[in-house]
Copies of this chain bind each other. A is one copy, B any other.
Amino acid sequence: MPVELLEMSECSPSLTREPLDAEQAAGVARVFKALGDPVRLRILSIVASRAGGEVCVCDITGSFELSQPTISHHLKVLKEVGLLTSERRASWVYYRLVPETLGELSALLDVPATV
């Protein structure tokens, strides 16, 4: 559970500021790798675009022609890198977005308009 994705001395992390060191790069790459799968991206967008912010696993499996364990695996990956959280209520497990993680990545990729 990474508290902070980036531990930069400055407050505005960006790829354009200065080269990432190996450790920083490894941490960020973990998250991008999780985003580097079409199914996981779609899962994330399903959760992100859901009005209440919550999605039940059973709502996701119906959107894919993949086995339920496969979806479960992808959810686990997204959770491990801090993009999703889960909560069990009765028989169902609900997943929510972690907007802070997405925000950090967005800021990291946010390059000045004209270089």
Contact string, A38-53, partner B, CB cutoff 8 A, digits 1/0?
A: 1111101110110001
CB atoms of A41 and B49 under 8 A apart: no
CB-defined A-B contacts under 8 Å, sample of 26: A15-B48, A15-B102, A16-B48, A19-B46, A21-B42, A25-B38, A26-B38, A28-B41, A29-B36, A29-B40, A32-B35, A33-B37, A34-B36, A35-B36, A48-B111, A97-B111, A97-B115, A99-B112, A99-B114, A102-B110, A103-B109, A105-B109, A106-B107, A106-B108, A106-B111, A110-B110
Instruction: Using CB atoms and an 8 Å cutoff, list the residues of chain A in contact with chain B.
Output: 14-22, 25-26, 28-30, 32-42, 44-46, 48-49, 53, 63, 97, 99, 102-103, 105-115
